[in-house]
Amino acid sequence: MDKNHLLGMNSSIKLNQVTKNVTLFLYDLLKNKDPNANISHKKMPSYDEHVKFVMSKPYTNWYIIEYDKKMLVQFTCQNMMKLEYLSAMIMNMIRLLNPR
């Protein structure tokens, strides 16, 4: 199912499922995250451990939001209603920050 319809008609904004291709981006986010906020580990994993974790598909709905072909943020959600709400909220934030 194509989730990009949830973000409206702006083709500059994409909602993509997490795949192996984005593990470096996710690892960089993880390195910059407050260590006390991590729920999946107690100490920083190696890159190889991180790739293994990502490929284990620990979250049913794990997405990256791209804007103008740049990855901005990752998020997980438990159900489609939350996904629709998050998508609408993110779309509104992008519109407010970058009106065209």
Query: Chain centroid to CA 40: how far?
Result: 16
Closest by CA position to 6, among listed 67, 88, 93:
88
| CATH code for the structural domain at 3-97 | 3.40.630
Q: Is the pTM value of this prediction over 0.85?
A: no
Three-class secondary structure assignment of 29-82: HHHHCCHHHCCCCCCCCCHHHHHHHHHCCCCCEEEEEEECCEEEEEEEECCHHH
Domains in the chain: boundaries? 3-97
Confidence of residue 52 (pLDDT cuts 50, 70, 90): very high
Confidence of residue 48 (pLDDT cuts 50, 70, 90): very high
Sheet holding 70-77, edge to edge: 13-17, 61-67, 70-77
pLDDT for 1: 44
pLDDT for 99: 63
Using the predicted structure, report yes or no on whether residue 15 has a pLDDT greater than 60.
yes
Q: Which two tokens stand for residue 38?
A: 């991590």
- Other CB atoms within 10 A of residue 50 CB: 19
Using the predicted structure, report yes or no on whether residue 98 has a pLDDT greater than 80.
no
